[in-house]
Chain A
């Protein structure tokens, strides 16, 4: 029996949907999927996990586990691994997923393979094989992981979450842990809730500007086009580095991954680190003076010329048709 233990990511009891990707991947690797929920707020999640083929949910309770804390969560997971001795531990490669697995790996003195797109082989063998993401997705690495318990995260969005064909009821078990009070030192102390609204990662339309925009003021016409289409403005790192836009607008490896219906890439050359953030866009319209720019050859559609003339003309045409 190959047991895979999946870390359930949640925030004060709200399940992170990304967890379902990890559960789906876990089902394809092991023949018994168990899950661990951390903190009493997460107890109710057992019902949400069962459809994804979870046989047992291990619930952990401790006064220290009211809010997220990387060291506390990592310590809980390390203790769970010592007690349950799963062949494989899986989380989804979100900020927290990667952080908690690294914390557990450090405590267990075990290797950890982050952001795998595929895990192959029998997890009970000494060594398993995997494909993992490098350069934020621009490159893949075939790797091996040799350890008594294998710790991996599944790259976010690499697997489509799907419920099990034959789900049962998840059994619930309490897992006793003993946490040192010092772990409280890195628990969340406070939080400012995010304002609701369209964000770069969820916007249906993104109008992105690069160095070709030329100045902070040059973004005004891009903002107008975005507003006309219910979208938001994005930018390249050249723009952020120049201080023209806030980093929150940056698309790419070290910025935000976008997946809009349409991405306008205006005055952006299409460096690979920008492209990995934009490639999930359903349609790309590149606007560039250089017909040989990488963004132009990678895009589905392109207009060749000066963005300063083309972007306002598009906005005017939209307004014309809306008015008509």
Chain B
């Protein structure tokens, strides 16, 4: 079985998100980088499927050269190969991203055969466009379900489970298929020492991305207004319990 997972490099902000002076980007001067939790779970899902069924998993990202860090991390937790689509002009809009990823997939499949499964995150952590995976799936003519909280494969069918308001739904997609994964589907493993060493040597191919900008354009970023309230310190330690319960009575939950 051949699986491709698409991940995006994003900053990992702590208490608040700071913006650069020109309002164009998140200020990453003091930040580490990661991939969205949904995509970490997509990587884990791919690793588990390969363990069960054999085969090979590839991880792909479109982003700055530094995004190789996210590919290597994925390699340390079970992905075999990486593919980097390097960009130098900031974040690409969703249509452009999807077109470039689609072209890269066609090139990879022409060389080594079709991917049985292409996994995405439900949405990217930073821009949250809710569309790149769906666009890629449509361009490739493959079935796509987003928000997967369960995924198993038997024969040529991918069994997907997803949470809806009314309950847990099941889908049966004929493969090759595309699936958007949601956090909670599994618990991503941490890299082992052996994994870390292997990731240093993992093959990372570079493909030049080319696609035209789409119709959604970022103008400027802003932080939502946060109403700052003074914190009332009810006390220190267990002696504060009566003061807490006074508050509960005041609010009316007791």
Contact = CB atoms under 8 A, between A and B. Distances in A.
Interface of A: 11-12, 14, 16, 68, 70-71, 74, 93, 95-96, 98-99, 102-103, 105-107, 110-115, 129, 133-147, 153, 185-194, 204-205, 229, 237, 240-241, 243, 246-248, 250, 253-255, 261-262, 269-273, 282-283, 285-286, 291, 294, 296-306, 309-310, 312-314, 316-318, 321
B245 A317 contact: yes
A300 B232 contact: yes
A283 B135 CA distance: 41
B127 A134 contact: yes
Closest 9 CB pairs of A and B: A247-B184, A111-B215, A313-B238, A106-B138, A102-B131, A313-B241, A98-B130, A305-B237, A102-B134
Nearest to A192: B168
Contacts of A141: 127, 218-222
Given A205-B253, A255-B183, A303-B240, A192 B128 contact: no
Given A106-B135, A139-B17, A192 B167 contact: yes
B144 interface: yes
A186 B216 contact: no
Contacts of A285: 234, 244, 247
Q: Majority SS of interface residues in chain B?
A: mixed
B10 to A, nearest CB: 9
Given A95-B164, A300-B231, A305-B238, A189 B172 contact: yes
B131 A114 contact: yes
Contacts of B238: 305, 309-310, 312-313
Q: Which interface residue of A135, A146, A188, A285 has the most chain B CB atoms within 10 A?
A: A135
A302 B234 contact: yes
Contacts of B223: 138-140
Contacts, number: 265
A291 B237 CA distance: 12
A11 B231 CA distance: 43
20 contacts: A11-B164, A96-B164, A105-B131, A106-B135, A135-B13, A135-B17, A139-B17, A145-B217, A192-B168, A193-B166, A246-B184, A261-B253, A272-B13, A300-B232, A301-B247, A303-B233, A304-B235, A313-B240, A316-B241, A321-B249
Contacts of B125: 135-136, 253-254
Contacts of B205: none
Contacts of A309: 237-238
A229 B140 CA distance: 52
Contacts of A247: 183-184
Nearest to A231: B253
Contacts of B16: 138, 272, 294
Contact of A191 (B170, B188, B217): B170
A11 B165 CA distance: 9
A114 B234 CA distance: 41
A54 B214 CA distance: 31
A187 B169 CA distance: 10
A23 to B, nearest CB: 18
B38 interface: yes
Contacts of A112: 94, 129, 131, 216
B135 A102 contact: yes
Contacts of A283: 247, 251
Interface in B195-230: 214-224, 226, 229
A191 B164 CA distance: 9
Contacts of A110: 215
